[in-house]
Chains A and B, each alone.
Chain A
C-alpha cells in the first residue's frame, strides 16, 4: 500500500563520519515532521534493502563526502525522490559535490556562497542544533556554575592555532579550556602549552556541557581549504547553533559576516574583528556576568525558535513537495525498459559439465534451461581449470558465452569473507545487470557472497541443498563417521568434533555459526528441500523455523514420462544402487550386503561413480555401470524391482529416489533425513535402520520370496511422491515474481544500473567481523582425517571379502593396497587420489551430492 506521506531513507554518505551526530539530529527532526510517516536510517550495506522493504519514497543523503554514486543512483531509483544535503562546501564543492548533485532531485548546500556554483540546482541550508544533545539550562547567576573563563573546542586549523596562541598570552589571568584535535593533514598544533592540555577530543554532547559551564565561548572560523578561493565558508558551521542552544555565551569572529544573520550582534552574541578586540571583549564580558547570561539566554531562545534541525527539515520537505513530478514518483513508478528479460544468476559449486557432480548441479542445469522466456539465466561456478575457489566462470545459459576470471589471492578455505571475491562478484552483477541471485551452494565461496547482491538492491534466494549452513562438514558425519545429531549438540561439542576433523581451534564453530546466521537473516527466500533439513538448520538458526521467508520444496525431475516396465517375471530380484559409491552414500554397508548376498537370487546394478578408496566390487551378482549422465536413468531403472538408498547422513532430498519411484522401483532406504521423511514404511517402500546391513539383507530376501508384497508397494507409488518440473517451475517463478515485484525490478527507474557501486567489503547492518577466518588453528590436510578415524573406509578385496582398512600412514596404505591389488590398480587409485588432493588444496573435495 502506498501512502502519500513520506517514508524516508536517511543515509550518511560518509562511512566513519565523525560528525554523524548531525545525522542523528536530522533523523529525529524527520521523525517529528507531520508530513513524514517513517524514517529509516541505513548505511551503504543495507540502504537498498531497507528502502525496498520499507517502501521508502524519499531518499535523503546527508553530508556528501565519500558519496557512492552507484549505490546512491540505485537508492534514488528505488525511492523515486531524492535529496542531497552537502555539509562541507566549499571545501568539497569541486569536483565531487557539484558532480554528485546531478543524481538528486533536490540539493542543499551548507554554504550560501556555494549555491551559485551549482547553476540553479542547489539551495542554501545552514546547519542547526539538536535539543537532545545540545540544550542545557542556563543558570540565574554566574556564581558557582562556571568552571572556565574561556572555552574553545574545534579542529586545529592553523588560523585558529595562531590566534589562540596569541590570545592566551594576551590573557594570562583567564582560565582557558581548549580542545584542538588535529589530524595527519594538518600541521601539528603548537599553542605554547603542554600538548595534553588541548590535544583531546570530546563528544558533541559533552562539548555543550563544557560550553554551558564556560563564561565565554569563542567562535573561530576555519580558514583552511584545498585552494585559496575555497579556504573559508560563508555560512558558519554547526557550533554556532549548538553553543547557543547549550546556553553558552558566544564571542565570534566577525570575519564571517553572515554569522549576524542568524544571531543579533550585541543582543544574542558578541563579536570581534581583531585579536585586541577579542581580548578586550573577553575582559569586558567577564566583568559583566548578568549581561553575558542575558545574551546567552536570548541566543538560546532564538535558536529554539529558528535554528533547530526541525526547521531545516521543514525547508527540505517543502522543497520536495514543490517538485511537480512528486506525486508521480510516489505513486506510479517509472517503467523500466520494456521487453527486457529478467536476469537470474545461479551460483553453485560446480556444473554438470564437470563430473563428478551431484543433485545440485543436475538441478541447476535443469532449472536454468526450463525457466519461462521472461527470464535469462546465468550460472556462476568455480572454474575447474584453476581448482575450487581459485577461479570462476560465469556462463550465459542461452548463448553459452562465458566470462572467466582467476583470483589473485588463494582459495578462501576457512574464511567467511573475502574482499577480492566479493568485489569481483559485485562488478559482475553490475556489468551483467543481474536482477535476482539464486544461490544453490556456497561450497568454494565465502558466506559473505549473498550480502553483495543484497547491498546492491537485488533479491537473494538461497537453496540449502545440504547442511553446509549448519556445519562446514555438510554431511554432518562426525569424527566417528556417524551422524552427529547436531540439533542436540552444544556448540562446544561441535568445536571438539571440528578440532578432530580438521584441527579447528576452540570457538571456530560459534565463529562460523554467528556469521552464517547473520547472512541467513538477510536472505529473501531460503529454500529447504525437506522438512527434516529445515528442522536441522533451524535448530541452530531458530528463526528459520517460523520465518515466512523459508520454503520447503524439493528438487524436481524433468517432465519426461517413465518408460513402460517390461512385463517379465524373473527368477531373481533386480536391485538398483543409484548414486555415487562413496562412504556417505552407504558404500560400507553395501559392501556388507554384497558379501552376504553373493549367492542369493539377486542382481545388484550399481549406477554411480565408484569413488576412491573404493574399488568396483567384484561379485558374480554385482554389475557396476559407473557414472551416469543426468536424465539417463530412466532406461536402467525401468525394469529394476528394488532401489537401495542407504546414505548414513541426513540427506536433504535425494533426486534419485524420485527417479526410482517414477520408474516404479520400490525403495529400501535408511531411516534418516529426507529418505526417512519421504518414504512411508510398508506403503511405498521400506525403511531400515541406518548402517544396518543385516536388516537390508533380511528385507531383500523377504521381497525375493514375496513378489506380491513388492507389487503392492509399487501400486502405491504415485507422482505426488516426488517433485516434478512443471509444477516446480511454476511455484518457483511465482516466488521469483513476488520478489521481483517487491524489489521493484520491473518498475524501478532505468538509471538503476547506470554506474557501478564503489568497491566495498560485503556488509549488512547486523554483521560485524574482526577476522575473515572462522576456522582457527592449524588445519590438517584432508587425507589426515581418514587416518584419525577409528574405522577407515571399507574396501572390497578380490576374493570378495569386505575388509576394513587399517589406520596408518599414506605410504603404508599404498603398500598394503599394492600387495592386495597389484601395480595397475595401485597406480590408478593413487592417481585418482592425487587428483582429488590437488583439487582440494586447502582441504576439500568439490563434490556435493
Chain B
C-alpha cells in the first residue's frame, strides 16, 4: 500500500528540463500534440518508464522538440509513442540527432491495424518498431518489429477510493466510438440491454434505435470511476479503420480500454473475435467472453444474479493488470527487446492496494 502510494506520488511529477543531470529516455509523440487526440496516453508511458528508470530520468516532450532534446540529453533511447498517420510528421532531423548521439530511435505505434498503412513512413527510419497489434506486427516486412500491447496507468485508471464500496450505479457500461460493428452488436443485444440498467457513452451512436446510448465523451481520467461503479463492463473491439487498405488487417490484440477497465476493477464481458485476450487475462476468472446475443444474455443474467462473482472477477483482473499490464511492465518488455537494461529502484511489480 505504502509502495503504491509512493509510486502514485512520484508519477504526479512533471518533467522539468534541467531538473535531472541524467535523462535515460526522451519520450515524444509520434505526431504533433496539437493534432493528437491521444496525447494523454503518452503521460502514462512516461510514468511507466519513470518507474523503471527512476523519477526525473524521462524527458516527455512534443515531437517538434524531440531532436533538440535528444541532442541535449544524449539519452539511452528516444521513443516516439503514438500515431504516425498525420502528414506533418517529419522525423528526418530526429533520426539524425539519434545518429549523432548514438541512441536508438524507437517507435511504439498505438493504432495498428487501423492506421497500418502509415507505418510505411517509419520503416526505414526506426531502429525498432513496437506495434500494439500482434497481427499487424507480422506485416511490416522488416526486422526488429515487436509486439507490445497498450496497458493501464495505476495512477489514472485506479478508481477513487470512496467508490470501492458504493452500490453500482448501472448494470452494463460501455464507452467508445460507435463503428458499424459495435452498432451491429448493440442492436443485436438491445433486447437484453433494454431490460437492465445500461449506459453506453461515446461518439456517433444511433440513439434512436439504441436508446441506452449517449453521444457524450468521458475524459480518460474519469473513466475508471464509471468502470468501478458498473456491475458489468461490455468490451467490444474497434472496427474503425483510417488507413488500413494495404492488407485490410483485422485486429488481434485488445485495445487499451481492456487494460484500463481491468485496472479499475471492472468485470468485463467481451465479444470473442480473437482469443489473444486469453494471453492477458484468464478466462472466466479474470474476463468473460460471449459469442452471440443468446450467450450474452445467459452470462449477464448469471452475473447480475451473483454480484460477488462480478466483484471477484473484477478484483482478479485488477490484480493481474497491476502485476502484468502496467506501462511500467511494458517499459521493461520494451527495454529488454531493444537490448537495454532497466535501471532504477522501482523494478518490482506494484502491490495491490488493500482497499481493492
| CB–CB A521/B124 < 8 A | yes
* Closest B residue, CB atoms, query A514: B90
| CB–CB B293/A194 < 8 A | yes
CB distance from A23 to the nearest CB of B (A): 9
B255 on the A face (CB < 8 A): no
CB contacts (< 8 Å) of A147 on chain B: these are 275, 283, 289
CB contacts (< 8 Å) of A203 on chain B: these are 135, 249-252, 274
What is the number of residues of chain B that contact chain A, defined by CB distance less than 8 Å?
57
Given A202-B273, A206-B135, decide whether A542 and B248 contact each other with a Cβ distance below 8 A: no
| CB–CB A16/B274 < 8 A | no
Encode contact with A along B107-131: 1 for CB under 8 Å, 0 otherwise.
0000000000111110111000000
| CB–CB A202/B88 < 8 A | no
A720 on the B face (CB < 8 A): no
A534 on the B face (CB < 8 A): no
| CB–CB A16/B247 < 8 A | yes
* Closest A residue, CB atoms, query B134: A205
> A132 vs B137: C-alpha distance in the bound complex, in angstroms?
12
| CB–CB B138/A21 < 8 A | yes
B158 on the A face (CB < 8 A): no
| CB–CB B68/A490 < 8 A | yes
| CB–CB A206/B120 < 8 A | no
Encode contact with B along A470-492: 1 for CB under 8 Å, 0 otherwise.
00000000000000000000111
Say which residue of A27, A200, A510 sits within 8 Å of B88 (CB atoms).
A510
A193 on the B face (CB < 8 A): yes
Given A196-B184, A774-B87, decide whether A491 and B64 contact each other with a Cβ distance below 8 A: yes
> A823 vs B187: C-alpha distance in the bound complex, in angstroms?
76
> A509 vs B249: C-alpha distance in the bound complex, in angstroms?
32
Encode contact with B along A758-802: 1 for CB under 8 Å, 0 otherwise.
000000011111110010000000000000000000000000000
CB contacts (< 8 Å) of A490 on chain B: these are 64, 68
| CB–CB B292/A197 < 8 A | yes
Question: Which of A175, A515, A517, A767: most chain B Cβ within 10 A?
Answer: A517
| CB–CB B248/A18 < 8 A | yes
* Closest B residue, CB atoms, query A773: B87
Say which residue of A193, A195, A509 sits within 8 Å of B184 (CB atoms).
A195
A842 on the B face (CB < 8 A): no
CB contacts (< 8 Å) of A15 on chain B: these are 246
CB under 8 Å from chain A, chain B span 289-330: 289, 291-294
> A781 vs B187: C-alpha distance in the bound complex, in angstroms?
52
| CB–CB B120/A767 < 8 A | yes
* Closest B residue, CB atoms, query A209: B275
B188 on the A face (CB < 8 A): yes
CB contacts (< 8 Å) of B221 on chain A: these are none
B32 on the A face (CB < 8 A): yes
> A98 vs B271: C-alpha distance in the bound complex, in angstroms?
44
| CB–CB A206/B92 < 8 A | no
A541 on the B face (CB < 8 A): yes
> A213 vs B279: C-alpha distance in the bound complex, in angstroms?
14
A20 on the B face (CB < 8 A): yes
A513 on the B face (CB < 8 A): yes
| CB–CB A199/B184 < 8 A | yes
Given A21-B138, A206-B276, A766-B124, decide whether A508 and B88 contact each other with a Cβ distance below 8 A: yes
A518 on the B face (CB < 8 A): yes
* Closest B residue, CB atoms, query A767: B120
CB distance from B54 to the nearest CB of A (A): 29
CB distance from B253 to the nearest CB of A (A): 10
| CB–CB A16/B248 < 8 A | yes
A210 on the B face (CB < 8 A): yes
CB contacts (< 8 Å) of A521 on chain B: these are 124
A342 on the B face (CB < 8 A): no
Given A206-B252, A768-B243, decide whether A507 and B273 contact each other with a Cβ distance below 8 A: no
| CB–CB B292/A514 < 8 A | no
| CB–CB B91/A514 < 8 A | yes
CB contacts (< 8 Å) of A509 on chain B: these are 88
CB distance from A428 to the nearest CB of B (A): 27
> A514 vs B125: C-alpha distance in the bound complex, in angstroms?
12
CB contacts (< 8 Å) of B9 on chain A: these are none
Question: Which of A24, A202, A210: most chain B Cβ within 10 A?
Answer: A202
> A491 vs B65: C-alpha distance in the bound complex, in angstroms?
10
Question: Which of B93, B120, B272: most chain A Cβ within 10 A?
Answer: B120
> A148 vs B295: C-alpha distance in the bound complex, in angstroms?
12
CB distance from A489 to the nearest CB of B (A): 11
* Closest A residue, CB atoms, query B63: A510
Given A17-B247, A20-B247, decide whether A768 and B96 contact each other with a Cβ distance below 8 A: no
CB distance from A364 to the nearest CB of B (A): 29
* Closest A residue, CB atoms, query B133: A203
Say which residue of A148, A205, A768 sits within 8 Å of B118 (CB atoms).
A768
CB under 8 Å from chain A, chain B span 240-291: 243, 245-252, 271-276, 283, 289, 291
CB distance from A219 to the nearest CB of B (A): 20
B85 on the A face (CB < 8 A): yes
CB under 8 Å from chain A, chain B span 92-107: 92-93, 95-96, 99
| CB–CB A540/B184 < 8 A | no
B14 on the A face (CB < 8 A): no
* Closest B residue, CB atoms, query A495: B88
CB contacts (< 8 Å) of B121 on chain A: these are 514, 518, 766-768
CB contacts (< 8 Å) of A765 on chain B: these are 120, 123-124
CB contacts (< 8 Å) of A770 on chain B: these are 85-87, 118, 243
* Closest B residue, CB atoms, query A212: B275
* Closest A residue, CB atoms, query B182: A196
Question: Which of A15, A200, A770: most chain B Cβ within 10 A?
Answer: A200
CB distance from B150 to the nearest CB of A (A): 18
CB distance from B112 to the nearest CB of A (A): 12
* Closest B residue, CB atoms, query A19: B247
> A506 vs B249: C-alpha distance in the bound complex, in angstroms?
32
Say which residue of B89, B124, B189 sits within 8 Å of A510 (CB atoms).
B89
CB contacts (< 8 Å) of A148 on chain B: these are 291
A133 on the B face (CB < 8 A): yes
| CB–CB B138/A202 < 8 A | no
Say which residue of A27, A199, A540, A768 sits within 8 Å of B93 (CB atoms).
A540
B218 on the A face (CB < 8 A): no
The 8 closest A-B pairs by CB, nearest first: A542-B96, A507-B88, A197-B292, A510-B88, A194-B188, A203-B135, A514-B90, A511-B87
Can you give 5 A-B contacts (C-beta < 8 A)? A16-B248, A202-B274, A491-B64, A515-B87, A517-B92
A residues contacting B by CB (< 8 A) are 15-18, 20-21, 24, 27, 41, 132-133, 147-148, 175, 177, 193-197, 199-206, 209-210, 213, 490-492, 506-511, 513-515, 517-518, 521, 539-543, 765-771, 774
B residues contacting A by CB (< 8 A) are 32, 34-35, 64, 68, 85-93, 95-96, 99, 117-121, 123-125, 134-135, 138-139, 141, 181, 184-185, 187-189, 243, 245-252, 271-276, 283, 289, 291-294
Known: A27-B141, A197-B291, A200-B273. 15 other contacts (CB 8 A): A15-B246, A21-B247, A24-B138, A177-B291, A194-B292, A199-B184, A202-B273, A203-B274, A209-B276, A511-B88, A521-B124, A543-B92, A543-B95, A768-B118, A769-B87
